[in-house]
Amino acid sequence: MLVMSQSYKCSRCGREALVIRKYSGEALCADCLRKSLMTKIRRTISKYRLLERVDSLTYLSLGWPYESTLADMFLEIESNFDVEVRFEGCEGPLNLSESIKCPENRWDRLIKALRSFRYEKAVIPLLLDDVVALYLRSIFLGPSILVLNGRLYLSLKETKAVAPFSEIPMDEILSLHLSVKNYEKELVPEYSVDTFLLKAWELEKENPGMRYSFYKAIHRLGSESWTFTG
């Protein structure tokens, strides 16, 4: 017997929804989702002053399957400014000016990418789930990598890398990239083999909005009077 999938209408424009945000109840079509995610990117860049007055920057690819969608949104935002964007990093879905072979492990890949290139300013495609996973990882294994106030810290030292996508949930960017409804299929487990990412996703499933609660707590940590040294 054929079972028809359930359909939802976009809360903003009334078209068919691609994503249902369980943490807010909002339904979004592909266009409205993209606009919402771009707003999150702009807000993160502005709030933490991540890319002030830069003439050039490096988009440091990690080879994730959804990076081309992130890069398209980022380039659209930066097209309003006089800035040159170079693409370097791990082999993956982007056309890179320079690439390296990277480890399979997600965080080993990030560390190698950060250490393999010299740059004035680098944009790293880390998502909300990554920020939470790195925080959980630091609790169990020590803070080798952290994202605080949109900036990356490696071995407790601030790098010149920033994470403007750190308010974007992984399931939402995967739904946008793959055109798959997030209320019909669980995408995060399929595209994540990292224990800490899966733990972050499990927490979110049990308590919608938990990722943002962690995110706010992590950034309060980054605003404390004590700081890491560069």
Average pLDDT estimate for 95-123: 78
Q: Region 85-94: what's the mean pLDDT? A: 76
Amino acid 192: pLDDT: 80
Sheet with 84-90, side-by-side order of all strands: 98-100, 84-90, 56-61, 122-123, 157-162, 151-154, 145-148
pLDDT at 90 exceeding the cut of 90: no
> Which of 27, 45, 42, 218 lies closest to 129, judged by CA?
218
Q: What mean pLDDT is predicted for residues 32-44?
A: 97
User: Sign of torsion, CA 193 195 196 199?
Assistant: positive
The 3-state DSSP class for residue 93 equals: coil
pLDDT band at 226; cut points 50, 70, 90: very low
Q: In terms of pLDDT, which residue wins out, 36 or 54?
A: 36
Confidence of residue 106 (pLDDT cuts 50, 70, 90): confident
Residue with more model confidence, 226 or 88: 88
Facing residues of 145 across strands? 154
Most confident stretch, 52-61, 95-104, 161-170, 181-190 = 161-170
pTM: 0.90
Q: What is the DSSP string of 34-62?
A: HHHHHHHHHHHHHHTT-STT-SEEEEEE-
In the predicted model, is pLDDT for residue 81 greater than 70?
A: yes
What mean pLDDT is predicted for residues 117-124? Answer: 83
Cα distances from 54 to residues 57, 78, 85, 205, in angstroms, run: 7, 11, 10, 39
